[in-house]
Structure 1
Amino acid sequence: MKVSSTLILAGALLISGCASVEMASQADSAKAKQFSPPSKGNAGVYVYRDSFIGKALKKDVWIDGHCVGESAPDVFFYTEVEGGKTHKVDTQSEFSPNTLELMFEAGKNYFIRQFIKMGVFVGGAGLEQIPEEQGKQAVAKLEMAKPGKCSAPR
């Protein structure tokens, strides 16, 4: 009985509740949502989280081992990376990081959706590349989080 009560409580926390992170200014968020081309020689990367599940969880995101930030529900990050190279995008998960390795072409913007999935003890996170138009529509509904603060060292 005690185990099932604990599982029900853990499941409820994964679905409800709301984690929060430090947010960027409204001006910075609005500027990023203009989806301007990145700086010369770079690719723009939007990493966002819009999933309903796991509202109480925060999950770190890294690109090439550098902290992009700690995500929370309904936030996005914007950063630039060197174009013409393959980059490794990681997120925290229940047992190990989930990774995407993607070639980012200079002059283009890319959209990576972080989603929360049910785990054994706590929710895990996954990443998927999203088509540009779909990514723009999703990011337009979100607010930008302050970059560079991750909870776990890398």
Structure 2
Amino acid sequence: MKRTFLKLCVLAAASAVLAGCATGMKHEEMAASMPKLKAGEGRVYFFRSSSMVGAAIQPDIRLNGHVVGTSKPGGFFYVDRPAGNYVASASTETEKTLSFTLQPGETKYVRSSIGFGVVAGRNTLELETHEKAVNELNSLSYTGTVAGK
């Protein structure tokens, strides 16, 4: 009886975690149909590897104080913005920020990851190289719409 209850609890927890993982079209399936950049703009990809660590923690991602998407395991989204200086941020038990400059026609890749924290997982944002990001993006699912400007 106790084992059956334990198995049901484990299955319920696993289902809840998996429900939070990104689902949708893969980057490699939609890359050819993505809009071209407008003159004077750059593109910023936000992505998060698929991992069970912190899967239930899905903080909003902000760019210069405006929510542009959500950090979901196994997912990515992108925003196109005018060239300039930007601050990306995400909050769990602490707020983490990442500052960068976006040039016209440039693409930046921001990796979001969840590590262990005291009360909840801690989000980290870091710039990733083009090579590493593109290699990983192809297996990730699109998690949103392009946020308004």
TM-score (norm 2): 0.75
Instruction: Say if 2:124 is the partner of 1:145.
Output: no
Partner of residue 17, structure 1: 17
Instruction: Say if 2:93 is the partner of 1:94.
Output: yes
Give the aligned CA root-mean-square deviation in angstroms: 2.9
Partner of residue 57, structure 2: 57
| Aligned-pair CA distance for 1:22 | 7.7
What amino acid is aligned across from residue 67 of structure 1 in structure 2?
V
Q: Give, in whole Å, the separation in 2 of the partners of 1:23 and 1:41.
A: 32
Q: Which has the larger radius of gyration?
A: 2
Percent identity for Structure 1 against Structure 2: 24
Distance 1:122 1:67, change over 3 A: same
Pick from 126, 129, 141: which aligns with 1:128? 126
Q: Which runs of 5+ in 2 are unaligned?
A: 1-12
Partner of residue 31, structure 1: 30
Distance 1:27 1:98, change over 3 A: closer
SS in 1 for 2:44: strand
| Aligned-pair CA distance for 1:19 | 5.0
What amino acid is aligned across from residue 70 of structure 2 in structure 1?
E
What amino acid is aligned across from residue 137 of structure 1 in structure 2?
N
Q: Give, in whole Å, the separation in 2 of the partners of 1:114 and 1:20.
A: 15
Kindly indicate whether the alpha-carbon contact (under 8 Å) linking 2:79 and 2:146 is maintained by their aligned counterparts in 1. no
Q: How many residues align?
A: 132
TM-score (norm 1): 0.73
The CA deviation string for residues 13-62 of structure 1, in whole angstroms up to 9 with x for no partner, is 7xx923527866x3987334777752211110000000522112211101
SS in 2 for 1:17: helix
